[in-house]
Each structure stands twice: as C-alpha cells, then as structure tokens.
Amino acid sequence: MSDGIYAALSGAVASERALDVVANNVANVGTTGFRGERLAFRETVSRAQATQVAGSQPVPVSLRYTELEETRVDTTEGPLRQTGNPLDLAISGDAFFAIDTPEGPRFTRDGSFVAGPDGVLRTRQGYVVRGEGPLDRPAAPLTIPTTAGGALSSVSVTADGSLSTEDAVVGRVAMFRFARGSDLRPEGGSLLAANNLGAATPAPDAQVVSGFLEGANVGPITGMNELISASRSFESFQRVIQAFRSLDERAARDLAGG
C-alpha cells in the first residue's frame, strides 16, 4: 500500500473534524451569546528510510501528516440587540458571566436572566447566576427583595454589574476572563466549561450593558462559506484516497499477472 494514502487519510480526518465544528457554528447563529469554535491544525513530518540501493546511502523519505494542534473558543464579541428588559445583560469586553450548575461553575455570554418567585437571579435554564467571589467556593445567590405587597422590587443594573433596588444594592454579578480561548470548551448552546478553573481571573474592568442581549459571534454568510470550504476539502481528500486505492489495486493485478 502506498504511504501517501496515510497522509491523505490524516487530511480527511482533519477536514471531517473541521466540518463538524463549522456545522455546529452555523447551527447556532441564532443562539444568544453563542461563541464559535475554531480549530488549528499543524503539519507533522514523519521520516522513514527508503529501500537502500546497492552502493548508495539510505535516502530519507518525508511523509507529511495533518493533525489537530488546538481547539479554541472564539472570544470575539457578537452584535448587541436591545430588549428593554433590565435583567437582560450583555458584556462589553473580554469576560463571561459565571453560573452554578450541578456539574460545577460554567461560563456564558448569554445574559437573558430572570428572577423567580424567590427573587434569585437565574438563567432561563434555571442555573443560579453567581455573585462576586472565588470560584472554588459557593457564592451567595443574587436575590432581589420583595415589596410589602409580595411582588419583586424593581431593579436596575449599572455598568459594573451591580444590581440595585430603590433601597439597597443587591450585589454584583461575577465576571471572569480567560487568557486563551483554548482554556474553554463548549458544552452545548452558549454554555462553556473551563478546562482549568485556575485559568479564570476576575474581570473588574468589564462593562455590563443592561437591557441588551448579545448575539452569536458567527455570521450566517461567513459560516456557510466556511461550511462549503470544509465540505469541499473533505471531498478532495476522499478523491485522493480513492486514487491511491485504485493505484494499489492496479499494482496488485499487474504483479499477479506478471
């Protein structure tokens, strides 16, 4: 079997992975706070010794393979959409909201928060929005007090993320940043998990925009172009693999007939 088929196979595997990632990005162009995923590939050179010809030195043969070098979350900001709801929050700057889930702290740019009858600020999936504090310890929930009539007090959110009623400051939403997009991994929709919680650092300079939500940072036109490109690349590698197989089959027939 020709060694070249392995190089083509590595390219096909890389293209298939890219196709999966781009397809997921395109599928989430309408997801609030969604962060696209990017892949970085590298070329790996493998050297083997060619058959030695009598009286000559072995000739090194280089085989080039494609392998995945890095998977990272694209932290580019998405477009803002005004809603007028004071509990709809968007972040201006490089940071993420922190929320508590049964699996531990998670991060998101989706700030479509709600307050239930208990006044606790949550995501629309029911996860508690974390207030300020270390990630390795439970954080006190941000709880909006009720009025004498039992209704939730009206609340406003300032640029530093502080929630306030007419009478008091409720607390401040926690915001963290990561030095690299590869420190995060997607967990579906706009939810992200940290590969290492120690990589998360507070982002006190990040600004909160109340009454707005951030859209996905993946555009439909760009996403479709990337999808077409990845699909064509995968198909090209498939044709190369098939060409190598045809050559091997022809060589086998020639040897059998010789």
Q: Per residue in 5-20, pLDDT tens?
A: 666 666 667 777 888 8
**pLDDT tens figures, 114-124:** 998 889 999 99
- DSSP 3-state assignment of 158? coil
Q: Are 141 and 120 spatial neighbours (Cβ–Cβ below 8 Å)?
A: yes
Cross-strand partners of 101: 104
pLDDT at 229: 79
pLDDT at 35: 94
Q: Are 139 and 132 spatial neighbours (Cβ–Cβ below 8 Å)?
A: yes
Q: What does the H/E/C string look like for 47-83? A: EEECCCCCCCCCCEEEEEEEEEEEEEECCCCCCEEEC
How many CA within 13 A on the CB side of residue 191?
Answer: 16
**pLDDT tens figures, 21-79:** 888 999 999 999 999 988 765 554 444 444 444 455 544 455 555 555 567 899 999 99
pLDDT at 60: 47
Residue 240 clears pLDDT 80, i.e. is over it:
no
d(CA 72, CA 76): 12
Residue 238 clears pLDDT 90, i.e. is over it:
no
Sequence-ordered list of residues with C-beta below 8 angstroms from that of 113, at least 6 positions apart, any chain: 87, 88, 89, 121, 122, 123, 124, 129
Among 45-59, 80-94, 126-140, 233-247, name the one with the lowest average pLDDT: 45-59
Sequence-ordered list of residues with C-beta below 8 angstroms from that of 92, at least 6 positions apart, any chain: 77, 206, 207, 208, 209
pLDDT at 71: 77
Residue 195 clears pLDDT 80, i.e. is over it:
yes
Residue 91 clears pLDDT 80, i.e. is over it:
yes
Mean model confidence pLDDT for the chain: 82
pLDDT at 117: 85
Among 30-34, 61-65, 130-134, 184-188, name the one with the lowest average pLDDT: 61-65
